[in-house]
Structure 1
Amino acid sequence: MIPIVVTENALHILSSSALAPDWLVNFDDLISLRDIFIIARPEAIYIATHSCSPDTRILIIQRQKQGLFEGIDSRDRRSVFDRCARIAFRYFDSAVSLNPRWMPFHAGNKISIFAFGYGRSDRIAAEQGPLGSADVYVYGFGTDPKMQDLATYQPDLDVYKRAREGLPLALSAVPLSKKDFSEGSIDLSDVEPSSISQGFTYSDWYPLHLSKDQLRFVDNPLSGPLRLRGSAGTGKTLAMIIKALKTKYDADESGDPKRILFVTHSWAMAENVDRLISKMDIFPDSISDISVIPLLYLANNRDYSRIDREPLGIDSEDGKRLALREISSVIDEFVAGDWIAYRSGCTEDFVGLVEAAPGSTARKLFSWDLLVEFGCVLAAQGILTHAADRERYLRVRRLRWMMPLDNAAEKSAVFALWAMFMSALREKRWISSDQIISDYLNDLSTFFWEAARQKNGYDVVFVDEMHLFNAQERLIFHNLLRNAENPPTVIMALDPKQSPRETFTNISDERDNGSEGILERARLPNSEKIDLLQVYRYTPEIGRVIRSVHDAAPGLDFPEDWDVPQGSSSTESGDIPEFRTVDGKLQVYKLAITSALDLGKQAQQRKGRVAILCMDSDRFGEYLAATVTQYPEIVTISSRDDTEKLRYSGKRSILSTPEYVAGLQFDTVILIDANEDQVPEGKYRSYHFRRFLSELYLGLSRAERKLLIIASKDAGGITKTLKPAIDAGQLKEVK
């Protein structure tokens, strides 16, 4: 089959457009895109724009009947194309990065990456700069073992050469004018992240359009650590971007250029912030530089692919389920083996959890508890699996947010499970993101970094969504600064109530007598605090329901910064949020889908979309599978990085969880399975309730105009946490 040739300009348009997956096979959808044309020639199919010149950079993709793209399931074609495009963008612009979870292999100017997510081994192989050009040639796809030894996996350069030589002839065939496809065309402003910036530049926003508190934050001098606190929708990310740009402009004006780092927790958020900065920056060619990087990419400076290790993260549905499945298998192995040595010293409640039947609710909850304990306590403290590490773990002071462990026997049993889990990761050649962070922290404590930080360090570090970083990750930020002697200029935005796991929490040793807080332990002491009180996103009616959840927090002994003021909504009034209770999960799903399709028309008229957000992790997996097969018009978001799909999905409704869409807003939210049984009665209730409350707050606060909550009778009905809002008439039942 002849290859596809996409010019650089056309590649940017395609990457930002909402197109049906079949365009990669028949190309019909492309005729609706402004400025895009298609020329089919014997040597290639060319996709270009009217402004292209013969020497423009191009991406060439060698098509295959069993591979790109005919041999790929139509639901996966778009994401595979986007990974091909990402390789090209990375080569065209060094500021663009590749997701480390794609496990890139390098050999000279060749590269290969995973084509799909977890559980599939297909890879994409490409050559960057073939025959000394500035182009990218994707020449391989599949599971051929040679792709792991790219030095021997050679492309057919004759295919590339013919396609490149045919480009001038293809461009000469372009008509002088093109029909204006006003119907069916894509308005790129609809898929860009303009909801935060509202299409304004820096000079539009600063200083006239910022609130009093935002302006105080932006103008605050860089004299040490600074916290920007605010509820969802108060404009924290916007204020952070404006301050980063102002820092850049001020540095240039003073003749003292700065290296500025803007750190995010997820890949998608980094790209979102990067695009916002590009849209708002009025001096893009200034001497000072702003780098927007996810922390995991920053930390992944070792090439783990060389030791055949695949990163395993738990911020995706696939990664989380793999980890939970592995933990459950480890529990089975533990019960059949060493458990007898610990059992007699453990409480009856703990014994019941360990010995719960596989697949039972108790086993699932215990696996979740262990996942949190492993990530937010053991890994967050850099605790490994040696005898000395066991002693360190036994000394960890148990706080109320942690999994209840009553004695040394229960702690020792959990440590044994941790050691078995780590062993299982090694056997499967996985490496967790916590292990990557631990390695990076060690690198930052070397003499090499001490010598290099003056050149490679940063003058100012901005950390968005600080509440998503755990104790170990928070230790990194002050180490990235050039000057280790001055007060750390680390600027943080946070709202701990939006932390879906126990990440923004403190950990201490039983021998500690001090009362160090979270930020003190992160080496960011005495940070100044500025609160944003004006909410710009959701209606006052939605805000009242959110406040009722916020008011449930005081009795739970939450850590510092949970007292972020709720503020007041400055948007116009809307409908009173509603809830419905149905019989079971099938009825929940059907009602959610029909409601989304119905409410979606209203949301689109307001240039918004509908999000179905699920509170039950087990049911979400079932809903996800059903939606993929039965409702392809609904976009599924099953990881934080998946939110990138929203750029090219128009205003289609989505199905996800509150955790995966943290930081995003939707015109309408349908929050499903906000059920009372999500927090079972018993000794562990308050511990599980804390996690549930964060997820509930996060889900509610994603809604801008309309909110519908659906619960099921077979899972206890609607959570009692919302009873005050129901009693006050702030949340009304619809039959």
Structure 2
Amino acid sequence: MKPLITTIGALKELATGLSPDAIGTSSTLLLRTGALVDFIVARGDSISGPRVVVMRPLNEVEVVVPDGLGSSRASVLSRMASFVERAQAPGGIQLPRNWTSYKYNSLVAFYADARSDPRSTRWIAEPLAGEPTDVVFWTSTDNERELDLDRFALVPRELPKGWDQDFKGAVQEVNARSELEVVKPNSDVEISLAPIESSLTKGWTYDEWHAAISRDQRQFVDAPVDKSIRLRGPAGSGKTLALTLKAIREVTSSRSRGSSPRVLIVTHSWSLAAQISNSIDSINGAPIPEIDVFPLLEIARTLSPQYVNDESGFSLIGEDSFSGKQAQLDEILDVLTEFKETDWVTFRAQASEVLRRRIDSEDIDDRFALAWDLSIEFGSVIGASAIFPGVGAELRYLQLSRATWMLPLESPGDLKVVYAIYSRYVESLDRRALLTSDQVLVDLLSHLETHSWNRSRRSQGYDLLFVDEFHLFSPLERQVLHYLSRDTSIYPRVFMAVDPRQSPSEAFIGVAADETRSSSASDELLDDVAQYELTTVHRFTPEILRLVKHVHHEFPTLDLGHDWEIDFSNVESSKESGAVPRLICAGTAAGEESDIARAVQELYPRGRLALAIVESKQWRRYSALAARLGESKKHHVSTITSRGDVEALASRARGLVVGPAEYLAGLQFDTVLVAGIPDMGDNFTALSEKSRLLSLLYLALSRAERDVRVFTNNDDGGAVSVLDRAVANGLLKKEQGSQV
């Protein structure tokens, strides 16, 4: 193959498991084929950022990674992105010991994959002089003799030329693409997905909405603002709409009294912030200058002095994207491997038998599960407690109270092991000039506790704070909210929309994390909090609601407390009755894919359609299926791998949307096909893992308006018990799928 020019962002996006064949369906990536080189770039890339040149002298099948490594493509791509990031750090590139790197002048050879042995494939790469540092992946080899880099250095090597302008054009094109490319199929299969803004506001005015909303919603909107309010409700009950209407009401009411309040609506993502901002403009007929709508992380960047004029060269990892989470997990996996090969022998005797088994395991799924648990511990426990490696830090960690949702650590020895791994993790990030969102928020909190902010908040603070998806906010983030109010003489007035069951992955931990330490219990900072509950679901049919209720009741017993729990016994649907959701059970994974393809063919002309993948580990297989579905040109297929992709879908989209369930939040479809459901039986010893997967199943089901079809196959264990019980209760209609 001819050389490929790509970027760190594109490598990370591909590392999410997106099949190379599905690049054309991605709203984030752009593939451009040239006469001498090919380009793969990502939305958000900069023409001044580092470029990655992959020479591909031996590639015949794989687009980026060496042939033969397709089965571990995500791991290889993540390591490539990590290498390029490390090359940007001042003082020369430093690689983890388990990469087994060799250097000669500017050439570097290292294992291409985390699963390494003496005969594993190695990259031969070269960081080029310049600012930023471009990187060339010259070739790969699994031959030990070719690791004599001084000989390789004598081989004539020539970079492709004349591609700079084409690269700039590709980057400009992907960033200028304000809407997804639309395939122009026959009119009988062309379906429009309404923009989020239109689906929420319908072009109605405030008065029209106030008259049309439910009694429960209107009660919340009209409630006095002398105390904080927690608005609880299941998916589809109109919490975001109610928050938006109340923010508009409070501003217009204050204007009539001759005052001008400052109002902040806080979200967890830019996509939701854009949705709410557009809704305000539509309902009001014009922007409302008194209302700011931002993700909390953007507020941190705006208010923290160290980030307002940041010249440190540090960049954020894991801001709000699937690829960011994958990058963090890969970093933890690397640190785990290095720790196991070095310091583990010192700590092993102190650790419990459970933790020893987890660290000693060579099973790749066990390693990913441990990395996931550690990522939660690092972010929601250690990071939220503002513990940084240094003198006295380990003792502070050992003295933290433990809650039931946290990683089970049975002894002080277990805690010391985790702290040692955490210290390596932070050191690795610092060495590569990378920041996590938790670190940024800790810095913000430090600033908010200063006399300087206490003076500034009178002009820069807010009178009213609205928080959508409050269940997604960690204890650290909730504590930050307390300091954003303007008047220090009264408790902050915060209006929160809550649905704990809709919280994917580590977001669930944020709900349970209130008991980690006293200062993180945000309700203690809010004085008296009124409770309002929405009991009418407007999005989906009674049949879908009954299935959603069933999944809700399947959650393990958790100490959420009365303030958090939703009473589903009173929740009803305002929609007309529809079809009973269906469970299609195939004999094989291939058979399941055939069943999904037939369902797409049948349902595509009827309305908006989504394929929601519950377990992200299975994303690669289903993204390849998405690519095959898109090849027919009869269906326009869009893949979504981050919350940022939602903005593109909100602008305009057609046909089938395929993505991990957690990134379909904020979208709604006529029909949702649900797949990628792993075993959730008794073999799941971790309560948090079962809760996470049930949260994602709950989220996937609640995206549908009229119809739900759930797909399973015997190769992956068949239908899980929660679905079998739904069949027994008449909530799912079971059908036999393809058996070959």
TM-score by length of 1: 0.72
Deviation at residue 524 of structure 1 after TM alignment: 2.2
Matched-pair contact (CA < 8 Å) for 1:581–1:710: yes
Q: The residue matched to 2:435 in structure 1 has which SS?
A: strand
* Secondary structure at the counterpart of residue 533 of structure 2: strand
Q: Using the TM superposition, give the Cα deviation of residue 317 of structure 1 relative to its aligned residue in structure 2, in angstroms.
A: 2.1
Is it true that 1:212 corresponds to 2:211 in the alignment? no
Q: Corresponding residue for 1:581?
A: 585
Contact 1:679-1:688 within 8 A present in 2 as well: no
Question: 2:273 touches 2:295 (CA, 8 Å); kept in 1?
Answer: yes
Report if the CA contact (8 A) 1:230-1:532 is conserved: yes
Q: C-alpha distance in 1, partners of 2:515/2:287?
A: 46
Do the aligned residues in 1 keep the contact of 2:676 with 2:712 (CA within 8 Å)? Answer: yes
CA contact under 8 A between 1:400 and 1:687: conserved in structure 2?
no
Residue 479 (structure 1) aligns with: 483
* Aligned-partner Cα distance in 2 for 1:714–1:378: 39
Listed as ranges, the gaps of 5+ residues in structure 1 are 1-20, 23-64, 85-116, 123-142, 149-154, 157-182, 604-608
Structure 2 gaps of 5+ residues are 1-22, 25-31, 48-79, 86-127, 134-163, 166-186
5 Å-filtered alignment, 1:195-210, equals 195-206=199-210, 208-210=211-213
1:592-603 correspondence to structure 2 within 5 Å: 592-603=596-607
2:291 match: secondary structure: strand
Shift of the 649–663 alpha-carbon distance from structure 1 to 2, 3 Å rule, reads: closer
The 8 Å contact of residues 499 and 694 in structure 1, kept in 2 or not, is answered as: yes
Q: Does 1:661 find its partner at 2:658?
A: no
1:503 and 2:502 equivalent? no
Q: Deviations over 1:632-660 (max 9, x none)?
A: 63111111111112134433211111211
- How far 1:477 sits from its partner (Å)? 1.2
Q: Any conservation in 1 of the 2:511–2:560 contact (CA below 8 Å)?
A: no
Letter in 2 for 1:437: L
**Which residue does the alignment assign to 2:645?**
642
Structure-2 change in CA distance of 1:588 and 1:318 (3 Å): farther
Matched, 1:253 2:256: yes
Task: Report how far residue 329 of structure 1 moved.
Answer: 1.1
In the other structure, the counterpart of 1:705 is 706
Give the equivalent residue in structure 1 for 2:623: 624
What is residue 674 of structure 1 aligned with on the other side? 677
Q: What residue number does 1:349 align with?
A: 354
| Cα separation, partners in 2 of 1:445 and 1:584, compared to 1, 3 Å | farther
Partners of 1:679 and 1:433 lie apart in 2 by 34
Q: Distance in 2 between matches of 1:413 and 1:361?
A: 20
SS in 2 for 1:734: strand
Pairing partner for 1:437 from 435, 441, 445: 441
Provide the residue aligned with 1:372 in structure 2: 376
**Residues 589 and 66 of structure 1: CA distance in aligned 2, closer, same or farther (over 3 Å):** closer
Deviations 1:27-80 (A, max 9, x none): xxxxxxxxxxxxxxxxxxxxxxxxxxxxxxxxxxxxxx999x99875x868x47
Provide the rounded CA distance (Å) in 1 between the counterparts of 2:279 and 2:37: 36
Which of the residues 552, 563, 566 maps onto 1:564?
566
SS of equivalent residue, structure 1 residue 308 = coil
The answer for the alignment partner of 1:244 in structure 2 is 247
Q: Is the 8 A contact 2:597 2:629 kept in 1?
A: no
In the alignment, is the contact (CA less than 8 A) between 2:638 and 2:656 conserved in 1?
Answer: yes
Aligned to 1:524: 526
- Give percent identity, aligned residues only: 31
Amino acid at match of 1:716: G
Deviations 1:628-685 (A, max 9, x none): 5773631111111111121344332111112112232221111112232x56616x33
> Could you say which residue in structure 2 is the equivalent of 1:31?
none
Letter in 1 for 2:402: R
Alpha-carbon shift at residue 612 of structure 1 (Å): 0.9
SS at match of 1:631: helix
For 1:305 and 1:587, the matched residues in 2 are separated by 53
Q: 1:314 to 1:259 in 2, by over 3 A?
A: closer
- The answer to whether the Cα contact below 8 Å between 2:191 and 2:654 also exists between their aligned partners in 1 is no
How many residues of Structure 1 are paired with residues of Structure 2 in the alignment? 573
Kindly tell me: are residues 626 and 384 of structure 1, through their superposed partners in 2, closer, same or farther at Cα, counting changes over 3 Å? farther
Distance in structure 1 (CA, Å) of the matches to 2:564 and 2:425? 32
Correspondences of 1:379-394 after superposition (within 5 Å): 379-394=383-398
Judged with a 3 Å threshold, the aligned counterparts in structure 2 of structure 1 residues 729 and 355 are, in CA distance, closer, same or farther, namely: same
Q: In structure 2, what is the Cα distance between the partners aligned to 1:380 and 1:587? A: 45
Measure, in 2, the Cα distance between the counterparts of 1:479 and 1:418: 29
| Change over 3 Å in CA distance of 1:296–1:448 after alignment to 2 | same
Once the two structures are superposed, the pairs formed by residues 38-77 of structure 1 within 5 Å of their partners are: none
Query: How has the CA–CA distance of structure 1 residues 80 and 365 changed in structure 2, closer, same or farther, with 3 Å as cutoff?
Result: closer
1:333-370, Cα deviation, whole Å (9 max, x unpaired) = 1111121222223222211111111x522112111111
Structure 1 residue 360 corresponds to structure 2 residue 361: no
1:118 and 1:685 map into 2 onto residues whose CA distance is 31
Alignment check: 8 A CA contact 1:613 1:657 kept: yes
2:729 partner amino acid:
A
Secondary structure of 1:362's counterpart equals helix
The residue that corresponds to 1:337 in the other structure is 342
User: 2:612 maps to which residue?
Assistant: 613
Alignment partner, residue 327 of structure 1: 332
Q: TM-score, normalised by structure 2?
A: 0.71
State the one-letter code of the partner of 2:510.
Answer: T
**Aligned CA-pair RMSD:** 3.5
**1:20-419 equivalent positions in 2, closer than 5 A:** 79=43, 190-191=194-195, 193-206=197-210, 208-282=211-285, 284=286, 289-301=290-302, 302-303=307-308, 306-313=311-318, 315-357=320-362, 360-419=364-423
Deviation at 1:472, TM superposition (A): 0.5
- Aligned residues of 2:314 and 2:433 also touching (Cα < 8 A): yes
SS in 1 for 2:653: coil
- Give the secondary-structure state (helix, strand or coil) at the position aligned to 2:696: helix
Which residue identity does 1:276 align to in structure 2? S
Higher relative contact order (CA 8 A, sep 6+): 2
Q: What's the CA shift string for 1:454-489, capped at 9, x where partnerless?
A: 111111111111011111011111211111121211
Deviations 1:264-297 (A, max 9, x none): 1001111111111110014x376x6111111111
